[in-house]
Amino acid sequence: MRQQWWRRSSLMLAAAVVPLAGAPEHAAVHEDGVLTLPTRQLAAGDSVRVVGEKFGRGTVLTLALVGVDGRVTLGEVRSDTAGAFTRFVGIPADVRPGAYRLVAIASDGDEVATLDVTVSPARSLSVAAADGDAHTTEPTAEPLELERARHPIVTGGAVAVIVLALLVGGALLRRPKEIF
């Protein structure tokens, strides 16, 4: 009777352990990472700075947009020794406008971080010019209008500092060298 109990217990233990023996040496355990963007309103054709934190050290991640039409891969990134990364990624111009999730995907396919975003249509140059947007891709001969400090006290102060620096430098160069 005791042998049957031992044999039955051994078989049950073997049935539980054998499937684990065929598994990889360690199961892939991922830390929950955090993705941060300067804005969650993205425009097709633009680029955005993605900051990631709290990932595993040296982890290779794939950044992607996941939406109704499927998954759009934006690129790969490797976290540093602190488990962080910063990367500029381009949003393809052909991405349809709508709600998406920006996801970080580990090498085994697990989503380890996610962030809800909205993609708006790409802006054309004619629309940008009509909106008064100064960002164009074509160079122009137009001079830039830059604000300058033209107050006499500011200009005089800058000149006085430069002259004083030249006088002190000249005095230090003419000073005899001391031997210790």
Q: What is the mean pLDDT of each run of 10 residues along the chain (180 residues)?
A: 56 52 50 88 92 91 90 92 92 91 91 92 59 57 71 86 93 77
The residue segments making up the domain with residue 114 are 34-130
Q: Rounded to an integer, what distance in angstroms lies between the CA atom of residue 140 and that of residue 134? A: 11
Q: Rounded to an integer, what distance in angstroms lies between the CA atom of residue 30 and that of residue 103? A: 14
Secondary structure of residue 157 in the 3-state scheme: helix
The answer to whether residues 102 and 37 touch, using CB atoms and an 8 Å cutoff, is yes
Instruction: Look at residue 166 in the predicted model and tell me its pLDDT.
Output: 94
| 40 occurs within a structural domain | yes
The answer to whether residues 118 and 40 touch, using CB atoms and an 8 Å cutoff, is yes
* CATH number of the domain within which 126 lies: 2.60.40.1930
| 78 occurs within a structural domain | yes
| 60 occurs within a structural domain | yes
| 93 occurs within a structural domain | yes
> How many domains does the chain divide into?
1
Instruction: Look at residue 27 in the predicted model and tell me its pLDDT.
Output: 45
Total-model pTM:
0.54
Instruction: Look at residue 15 in the predicted model and tell me its pLDDT.
Output: 55
Helix H or strand E segment including 90 = strand 85-90
As given in the structure block, the two tokens for residue 160 are 């006085």
The answer to whether residues 71 and 65 touch, using CB atoms and an 8 Å cutoff, is yes
